[in-house]
Chains A and B, each alone.
Chain A
């Protein structure tokens, strides 16, 4: 089973700053199998990035994904007030999906 680790656990930033979130896999993951989600309190997760770097429909271009193999990154340029949330990476392998533990981006 591939285990995903996300860092940092919490990221405290101000609006307008850049957020860099890391997702590390215990084994190599195909980029096609790596996705990122945003979840706000009381809401369902929302797909942001799939295929490690492709933005989902309607996602602003301040969100970008990169990486390959075991190291993936979600970058949020110029944080907007609505971006403060929890972010999860997700991978698919051996017929199952797994999520990372999440990174909380909160207001400094």
Chain B
């Protein structure tokens, strides 16, 4: 059974870089038809798509975050990562990683449990 698990610091200082990793188990990140990506939910708000990556390294980002986001993949470790630079309090959120179906139908069918990141000094 495919499982995703987020990991990383729960507290980040303003202006610094948020870094999270998603570890994939029970399946290979190198499979076809799937991208791997990040979504967040700020407190009291809805879901916001951040971006995704294919095992080849091809990426797509939310235009509103593109200047600050980098998503990378390490197929040898079956992991992918998120870096968000110059964070502010507005980046405080629960961050989820998820598998993205991107062929024929487009949706996110397997999610990690989420990790809370607070931006505060």
Chain A residues engaging chain B, CB cutoff 8 angstroms: 1, 32-33, 35, 37, 39, 43-47, 50-51, 54, 56, 88, 90, 92, 95-102
CA distance A32 to B63 in the complex (A): 23
- Please count how many residues in chain B sit with their CB below 8 Å of the partner chain's CB atoms: 26
Query: Which listed residue, A35, A92, A95, A100, touches B46 by the CB 8 Å rule?
Result: A100
Question: In the complex, which residues 11-56 of chain B have their Cβ closer than 8 Å to any Cβ of chain A?
Answer: 39, 41, 46-49, 52
Q: How near does chain B come to A25, taking the closest CB pair, in angstroms?
A: 14
Asked if B62 is at the interface (CB within 8 A of a chain A CB), the reply is yes
Query: Which listed residue, B60, B107, B114, touches A35 by the CB 8 Å rule?
Result: B107
Please tell me if the beta carbons of B47 and A32 are within 8 angstroms of each other in the complex. no
Closest 6 CB pairs of A and B: A92-B106, A35-B107, A44-B111, A97-B49, A99-B47, A50-B107
